[in-house]
Structure 1
Amino acid sequence: MSEVLGGDWLTLAHQAKDLLSQHKGKIGLHGPSWGLDISNPDSDIQKITSKRIDTSLSICSYIGADQLVIHSPYSVWNFSKKN
Protein backbone atom coordinates (compact mmCIF):
# COMPACT_ATOMS: atom_id res chain seq x y z
CA MET A 1 0.00 0.00 0.00
CA SER A 2 2.69 2.52 0.92
CA GLU A 3 4.38 2.01 -2.45
CA VAL A 4 1.23 3.23 -4.16
CA LEU A 5 -0.30 5.75 -1.76
CA GLY A 6 3.08 7.11 -0.74
CA GLY A 7 4.52 7.09 -4.24
CA ASP A 8 3.40 7.09 -7.85
CA TRP A 9 -0.30 6.35 -7.55
CA LEU A 10 -1.05 8.22 -10.77
CA THR A 11 0.25 5.42 -13.02
CA LEU A 12 -2.06 2.81 -11.49
CA ALA A 13 -4.95 5.25 -11.28
CA HIS A 14 -4.55 6.03 -14.99
CA GLN A 15 -4.62 2.31 -15.80
CA ALA A 16 -7.75 1.86 -13.68
CA LYS A 17 -9.39 4.86 -15.32
CA ASP A 18 -8.70 3.40 -18.77
CA LEU A 19 -10.08 0.00 -17.75
CA LEU A 20 -13.21 1.64 -16.35
CA SER A 21 -13.76 3.98 -19.29
CA GLN A 22 -16.72 1.99 -20.64
CA HIS A 23 -18.26 1.38 -17.23
CA LYS A 24 -21.56 3.21 -16.83
CA GLY A 25 -22.32 2.44 -13.19
CA LYS A 26 -21.05 3.87 -9.97
CA ILE A 27 -17.44 3.41 -8.97
CA GLY A 28 -16.31 3.00 -5.40
CA LEU A 29 -12.95 2.36 -3.84
CA HIS A 30 -12.02 0.85 -0.52
CA GLY A 31 -9.92 3.23 1.50
CA PRO A 32 -6.62 2.34 3.09
CA SER A 33 -6.97 0.12 6.13
CA TRP A 34 -4.02 -2.23 6.67
CA GLY A 35 -1.95 -0.91 9.54
CA LEU A 36 -3.93 2.32 9.80
CA ASP A 37 -6.13 3.12 12.77
CA ILE A 38 -8.17 6.32 12.51
CA SER A 39 -8.86 6.15 16.23
CA ASN A 40 -5.17 6.20 17.19
CA PRO A 41 -4.46 9.13 19.53
CA ASP A 42 -0.80 9.44 18.43
CA SER A 43 -0.54 12.63 16.35
CA ASP A 44 2.23 11.20 14.13
CA ILE A 45 0.05 8.22 13.22
CA GLN A 46 -2.92 10.55 12.68
CA LYS A 47 -0.87 12.55 10.18
CA ILE A 48 0.06 9.53 8.04
CA THR A 49 -3.47 8.15 8.28
CA SER A 50 -4.90 11.48 7.12
CA LYS A 51 -2.35 11.65 4.31
CA ARG A 52 -3.31 8.15 3.09
CA ILE A 53 -7.00 9.00 3.18
CA ASP A 54 -6.41 12.30 1.36
CA THR A 55 -4.43 10.48 -1.32
CA SER A 56 -7.23 7.92 -1.66
CA LEU A 57 -9.72 10.76 -2.15
CA SER A 58 -7.46 12.20 -4.87
CA ILE A 59 -7.45 8.81 -6.59
CA CYS A 60 -11.24 8.67 -6.36
CA SER A 61 -11.48 12.08 -7.95
CA TYR A 62 -9.02 11.18 -10.69
CA ILE A 63 -10.79 7.99 -11.76
CA GLY A 64 -14.30 9.38 -11.25
CA ALA A 65 -15.25 7.27 -8.25
CA ASP A 66 -18.48 8.16 -6.46
CA GLN A 67 -17.46 6.94 -3.03
CA LEU A 68 -14.59 5.90 -0.81
CA VAL A 69 -15.32 3.32 1.85
CA ILE A 70 -13.60 3.99 5.15
CA HIS A 71 -14.58 1.95 8.18
CA SER A 72 -14.97 3.82 11.41
CA PRO A 73 -13.60 2.33 14.59
CA TYR A 74 -17.18 1.95 15.84
CA SER A 75 -16.31 -0.68 18.39
CA VAL A 76 -13.66 1.60 19.90
CA TRP A 77 -15.95 4.62 19.94
CA ASN A 78 -18.94 2.60 21.16
CA PHE A 79 -16.86 0.98 23.90
CA SER A 80 -15.72 4.33 25.22
CA LYS A 81 -19.33 5.52 25.50
CA LYS A 82 -20.26 2.54 27.69
CA ASN A 83 -17.62 3.32 30.31
Structure 2
Amino acid sequence: MTLTDADVSRIVEMAWEDRTPFESIEMQFGLNESGVIALMRSHMKASSFRMWRKRMAGRVTKHRALRSPEVQRHRASHTRQA
Protein backbone atom coordinates (compact mmCIF):
# COMPACT_ATOMS: atom_id res chain seq x y z
CA MET A 1 0.00 0.00 0.00
CA THR A 2 1.34 3.41 -0.93
CA LEU A 3 0.72 6.15 1.60
CA THR A 4 0.43 9.79 0.60
CA ASP A 5 2.13 12.55 2.57
CA ALA A 6 -1.29 13.39 4.02
CA ASP A 7 -1.77 9.76 5.10
CA VAL A 8 1.63 9.70 6.81
CA SER A 9 0.87 12.99 8.55
CA ARG A 10 -2.47 11.65 9.82
CA ILE A 11 -0.94 8.37 11.00
CA VAL A 12 1.73 10.27 12.95
CA GLU A 13 -0.99 12.47 14.45
CA MET A 14 -3.10 9.45 15.42
CA ALA A 15 -0.09 7.63 16.86
CA TRP A 16 0.62 10.56 19.19
CA GLU A 17 -3.00 10.77 20.37
CA ASP A 18 -3.59 8.95 23.65
CA ARG A 19 -7.11 7.80 22.86
CA THR A 20 -6.53 6.51 19.35
CA PRO A 21 -5.84 2.77 19.49
CA PHE A 22 -3.46 1.10 17.06
CA GLU A 23 -6.43 -0.94 15.83
CA SER A 24 -8.04 2.24 14.46
CA ILE A 25 -4.90 3.08 12.53
CA GLU A 26 -4.83 -0.45 11.15
CA MET A 27 -8.49 -0.27 10.16
CA GLN A 28 -8.05 3.04 8.31
CA PHE A 29 -4.58 2.63 6.82
CA GLY A 30 -3.75 -1.09 6.95
CA LEU A 31 -0.74 -0.62 9.27
CA ASN A 32 -0.58 -2.80 12.36
CA GLU A 33 1.28 -1.72 15.50
CA SER A 34 4.69 -2.83 14.23
CA GLY A 35 4.00 -1.03 10.94
CA VAL A 36 3.14 2.16 12.81
CA ILE A 37 6.34 1.84 14.85
CA ALA A 38 8.39 1.41 11.65
CA LEU A 39 6.68 4.42 10.04
CA MET A 40 7.27 6.56 13.13
CA ARG A 41 10.92 5.51 13.25
CA SER A 42 11.46 6.45 9.61
CA HIS A 43 9.61 9.78 9.73
CA MET A 44 10.82 11.20 13.03
CA LYS A 45 14.11 12.35 14.46
CA ALA A 46 15.67 9.67 16.66
CA SER A 47 15.09 11.68 19.85
CA SER A 48 11.42 12.30 18.95
CA PHE A 49 10.92 8.62 18.18
CA ARG A 50 12.42 7.61 21.56
CA MET A 51 10.16 10.12 23.32
CA TRP A 52 7.11 8.72 21.51
CA ARG A 53 8.04 5.11 22.33
CA LYS A 54 8.58 6.00 25.98
CA ARG A 55 5.19 7.75 26.03
CA MET A 56 3.40 4.79 24.39
CA ALA A 57 5.01 2.13 26.61
CA GLY A 58 2.32 0.82 28.92
CA ARG A 59 -0.36 3.18 27.61
CA VAL A 60 -3.40 0.90 27.74
CA THR A 61 -5.55 3.34 25.75
CA LYS A 62 -3.45 2.55 22.66
CA HIS A 63 -4.87 -0.99 22.64
CA ARG A 64 -8.63 -1.33 22.37
CA ALA A 65 -8.69 -4.68 24.22
CA LEU A 66 -6.88 -3.23 27.25
CA ARG A 67 -8.71 0.05 27.60
CA SER A 68 -11.45 0.81 30.06
CA PRO A 69 -15.00 1.05 28.71
CA GLU A 70 -15.08 4.61 30.11
CA VAL A 71 -12.53 5.70 27.49
CA GLN A 72 -14.72 7.03 24.74
CA ARG A 73 -13.63 7.43 21.18
CA HIS A 74 -13.01 10.85 19.80
CA ARG A 75 -13.19 11.38 16.06
CA ALA A 76 -11.83 14.58 14.64
CA SER A 77 -13.89 16.15 11.90
CA HIS A 78 -11.11 15.61 9.33
CA THR A 79 -10.75 11.83 9.82
CA ARG A 80 -11.98 9.19 7.44
CA GLN A 81 -15.18 7.38 8.28
CA ALA A 82 -14.84 3.60 8.41
Q: If you compute each CA radius of gyration, which structure gives the higher value, 1 or 2?
A: 1
Q: Which fold has the larger relative contact order, with Cα–Cα distance below 8 Å and residues 6 or more apart in sequence?
A: 1
TM-score, normalised by the number of residues in structure 1 = 0.31
Which protein is richer in strand relative to its size?
A: 1
